[in-house]
Amino acid sequence: MTHFLLLTAIYFVVLLGITKPLGSYMARLFSGQRTFLHPLLRPVERGVYRLTGVEEHAEQRWTEYTLALLAFSAAGFVCAFAIQLLQGHLPWNPMGFGTAHKPAGAIPVTPDLAFNSAISFVTNTNWQAYSGENTVSYFTQMTAFTVQNFVSAASGVAMAMVLIRGFARRESKTVGNFWVDLTRATVYLLLPLAFFAALLLASQGVIQNLRPSVVARTLEGSIQIIPQGPVASQEAIKMLGTNGGGFFNANSAHPFENPTPLSNFVEMLLIFSIPAGLTYTFGRDVGDTRQGWALFAAMSILFLVGAGVLFHYEQRGNPLLTQLGLQARAAPGQPGGNMEGKETRFGIADSALFATITTDASCGAVNAAHDSLTPLGGLVPLVNMELGEVVFGGVGAGLLGMLLFAILAVFIAGLMVGRTPEYLGKKIERREVQLAMIALIATAASMLVFTAVASVAQFRQGGYWNPPGAATANLTNGGPHGFTELLYAYSSTSENNGSAFAGLNADTPYYNFTTAGAMLIGRFAFLIPLLAVGGSLASKKRLAITSGTLPTSGPLFVGLLIGTILLVGALTFFPALSLGPVAEHYLMQAGHVF
């Protein structure tokens, strides 16, 4: 308990410390001012513009901006899809995946799997239907997965800038230039931070090489094949870009991805750094930093409550195992609690904090098996995703989601007092609220409808769509926990998180295509309406603040905002959550097993 509180406190203080400097840096960067990295990186930025023919000072309307984003995502998808299917003919494939010399346990990249993984990386979800160490070559990891880790995150930051500019600009037809925002986010923000973070991770033992697997002869004389690869470079951007797709199947629980408690801390910090910084960027750009801190405060409260609940239930342990003689209480020489699915070096506290952070943000990296969390411990990541990943959230997408709720909050407040709502001097009218609701309903419907269909869908056993037969035949766990596996899968993909209750065997055409569909809805049906809101707001006048304006930087607004988020979440997901984790909790207390 003391360790958990201390760890969380240190984490929070460090996060608070980097928010302002990083936020100011991003504000300067995206408004075209010089930063301290310009002497070094300006030639790179200019080189990119020269090679691609981008006109640096040309501005785009929100529609042009969106089309550029869609075109770029489509091109990224084609590349990632093709590279996976052709990896057998491409270099840096020492294990021979996709060739006749592939190792015995290799899993083939089928077109549906390549489709799913390509969508997964382009949408910043990084759902893992693939299993890194026995499916994917180093070339694919670097040029398909690492590249999308960078550019899908850079696209996220770019989209957040559209909405920020929507509030900051007055009577403007344009919202910036996608190509310029994308390039600046990649060159000045993601590359330097990822480079530095990768060195830090490598100092802790994260591997970085292009060698084939190593054969070891163990102490008891058996053979152990130890995979290698360029992991540190992938790991750093995987966390920083809130991507989360692991180099290895076990993701950040794998000792080569996350070898020490310090690397674990660094990885957790990387996840929240840009999303937290963006709240400050937002405040600065709209001319009142308190507005940004108000969002930061609402996020912090939801974050700390979630982490506390998750830790509490994991430390309490699984009563069904405690009665077999296991120790649940932490002691100086052991972590106690529910250790199934957790690593010894992380114990309960460092695992609980990680699980909260990765699902508050749309990261989806995991350092413990979420499927083996206690029912109410596992409820926290599920709820974090279903609330829309607005607690710091994904790079860019998190701020967009939080501003969506801010718009709804002032709208509800406006209804209560009978005034046209305003936020930051911009009138929130029918069009903005309609667009916000489209974004909200599209993702909620995706989560619930896909889950409901998978609960009942039947397929021919041994057929193409789902060889195990019924869609529920792919579950590892029975009873309410099996339902939670499905709900988690579609919540995770619809919110572009990518973590899993991994007992669901999702590498069949049915699951590859439906989760890909959920990822596309979660990215584009959620973000395009918000880009439209940005375009619409940018064209509006900025009204003067009067005595009748709802102040949006104080505790009242923070409370209203949290209330709106919880209300929308509870109304939408309470029935599904009751059928899954809540039912399982009470059945577990009563001693039922499945």
Member of 26, 298, 369, 407 binding another protein (CB under 8 A): 369
Nearest residue (CB) to another protein, 469 versus 479: 479
Which segment (27-35, 57-65, 112-120, 316-324) binds another protein by CB under 8 A?
Answer: 316-324
By beta-carbon proximity to another protein, the closer residue of 40 and 441 is: 40
* SS3 state of residue 592: coil
Q: Which residues in the 106-145 window bind another protein by CB under 8 A?
A: 131, 133-134, 142-144
Q: To the nearest whole angstrom, how small is the minimum distance from the Cβ of residue 272 to another protein?
A: 16
Number of amino acids touching another protein (CB under 8 A): 130
Q: How far is the CB of 408 from another protein (least distance, A)?
A: 35
Query: What are the C-alpha distances in Å from 352 to residues 47, 222, 490?
Result: 44, 35, 22
Of the candidate spans 2-10, 168-176, 452-460, 535-543, the one that interacts with another protein by CB under 8 A turns out to be 2-10
User: How many CB atoms neighbour CB 200 within 10 A?
Assistant: 17
Contact of 572 with 445, CB cutoff 8 Å? no
Enclosing H/E stretch for 83: helix 62-85
Q: Under rule CB under 8 A, which residues in 29-88 are in contact with another protein?
A: 44, 48, 51-52, 54, 72, 75-76, 79
Q: How far is CA 259 from the centre of its chain?
A: 22
Residue 558 and residue 298 in contact, taking contact as beta carbons nearer than 8 Å:
yes
Q: How far is the CB of 436 from another protein (least distance, A)?
A: 30
Residue 254 binds another protein, judged by CB under 8 A? yes
Nearer to another protein, 275 or 375 (CB): 375
Cα–Cα distance measured from residue 356 to residue 373, given in angstroms and rounded to the nearest whole number: 12
Cα–Cα dist 338/328, whole Å: 7
- If the CB atoms of residues 291 and 351 are measured against another protein, the closer one turns out to be 351
Pull the structure tokens for residue 470: 């019924």
**Least distance in angstroms from the C-beta of 101 to another protein:** 15
- Tell the burial category of 278 from Cβ atoms under 10 Å away from its Cβ (0-12, 13-18, 19+): buried
Instruction: Estimate to the nearest angstrom the gap between the alpha carbon of 357 and the chain centroid.
Output: 9
**DSSP letter assigned to residue 331:** B
The residues in 261-280 that bind another protein, with binding defined as CB under 8 A, are: 261-262, 264-265
**Binding to another protein by residue 467, rule CB under 8 A?**
no
Least separation in angstroms between residue 464's CB and another protein is: 25
Which of 150, 167, 282, 511 is in the footprint of another protein by CB under 8 A?
150
- Range 178-197, binding another protein (CB under 8 A): 179, 182, 186-187, 190-191, 194-195
Select the residue interacting with another protein from 1, 10, 70, 416 (CB under 8 A).
10
Tell which residue, 261, 288, 229, has the closest CA to residue 425: 288
Identify the helix (H) or strand (E) that includes residue 226. strand 223-226
| Binding of another protein by 503 (CB under 8 A) | yes
**Of these, 250, 271, 506, 565, which contacts another protein (CB under 8 A)?**
250
219 near another protein, rule: CB under 8 A: yes
Residue 459 to residue 461: CA distance in whole angstroms: 6
Residue 174 has phi, psi (to 5 degrees) of: -115, 160
